[in-house]
Structure 1
């Protein structure tokens, strides 16, 4: 007796689930509902090719395109305004630098003219006047000394408030208080004149911060910050290193990674300050001037 012939197995028999999904993508329940709708004489359900759906998709796409174009236009306008403001700031800074140089040159001319005229002033008084002009930063000075250069640590950045060190990566940023402590340490070590990035310090100078910028004499500075001090090139570096300023400078480098460099110089030239004005004066002794 021959055995009945069995039907050949389908090649995709092991993928019945995938085959069912491909051959009958619509769930049986939904298919039955659709067939009942047609049997009742109603039109078949609308598909994704519905004109209303197509029009809606086109309108939404158009609105999104218009919005994207508007945002790009606003960004372009913002970038243009920012570039214009930067150009204006740079132009104003250049003009201020030129005017400061002119003011310094005029101060030097006045000092030379006063020294030539004399006006009955004795040699001792003239020497004292010259010393006071140098001390009060009214004239430029030249002499030996030392420089301290500071720059931010690699990869550091200021936080939103600019000062103090509140951000995770802002510890290596040079702050205004760092320059204040270092310059005070130089004064204590015997510095006779100090300038930061060419800005001469006087008794009325201010070292402040504005956002991420450091201001000296209300002028913004750029990195690196070079502190130049005129004084004894042998005694002043030793006194500074042994004082609070030297300890603070070492801690900036070791604890925060601030880049520091200290060098002695045979000759430094520091400009005069253009912010000095007379606030208090009294008549000279007539007996001394007669």
Structure 2
């Protein structure tokens, strides 16, 4: 350091050092993160814990104690599984008996429902005969009968026979999973025909001039729906499956000409090309359509004139 600087009170960093050491550059140690990552492979805390654990080897008694606990745990797990299996086997006969009772109850209820439906049909026919005999004597009664026939046809409450079209739709294969509609028409699922396809076909047949329509024996009327429930299609709440047979009574040739250019048949032809759906449209004579379900109407509103 220069003498004037020293006199002014400055500090000489080389004070007390030899001439050789005074000229040596001072190295300030700076920690290097990269060097630490490459050289120190274990955190100091983990290294200390490992050293402590390695410094005191486990005794034979401690190892034996650990084996005993492991054996007890394995025995407990085995006992739980054995108890579960025993309980399942003990309740299996009761479950099977309950299932059989439920099946018999369902079949009995179905039989009773069929008998009541037949009895209702017979009584409805008798009421209709009495009504016609009472109204057929004068002109006013005959006009009322004509009006009732037209309303019954529109309400699908009477059976009908006549010529028309038979549309048969065959699904290329049943779906392996009937629980999720969102998986339809994707790879790995074979169910192609959905409720909206049948709805479009039925609406196209109405627009083509059909006077009465049935889908797999269920008459389509004002209170009948075609909807999807999982992978099954319900027509008037009755499950139906492929092949789907749609009968439409009306002027067959005129209906065929209009239906050939309808959105419903165009959709079916597209599904036929894309997915292999079977579609046949035939002109038929003497089609027989049953009467539809008659339900009580609690509220109605006229639309249009």
Smaller-chain TM-score range? 0.5 to 0.7
Question: Does structure 1 retain, via aligned residues, the 8 Å contact 2:172–2:191?
Answer: yes
Query: Matches of residues 1-290 of structure 1 in structure 2 within 5 Å?
Result: 61-71=78-88, 85=102, 88-118=105-135, 120=138, 121-154=140-173, 156-158=175-177, 160-162=179-181, 165=184, 167-170=186-189, 172-277=191-296, 279=299
For structure 1, the 5+ residue unaligned runs are: 1-36, 283-290
CA distance in structure 2 between the partners assigned to 1:78 and 1:261 by the alignment: 46
1:217-260 deviation digits (Å, cap 9, x = unpaired):
23333443221111112221221121111111212222233333
What's the CA shift string for 1:129-180, capped at 9, x where partnerless? 3232222212111111122223332254456333573653346332211111
- Aligned position for 2:10: none
- Describe the superposition over 1:8-40 as per-residue Cα deviations: whole angstroms up to 9, x where unpaired: xxxxxxxxxxxxxxxxxxxxxxxxxxxxx9xxx
Distance 1:99 1:250, change over 3 A: farther
TM-score by length of 2: 0.63
> How many residues are paired up?
238
Q: Tell me the TM-score normalised to structure 1 length.
A: 0.66
In 2 relative to 1, CA 157–56 (structure 1 residues): closer, same or farther, beyond 3 Å?
A: closer
Larger Rg: 2
Matched position secondary structure for 1:252: helix
**Residues in 2 aligned to 1:261 and 1:80: alpha-carbon distance in whole angstroms:** 46
Gaps in structure 2 of 5+ consecutive residues: 1-58
Residues 1:235 and 1:185: Cα distance change in structure 2 (over 3 Å): same
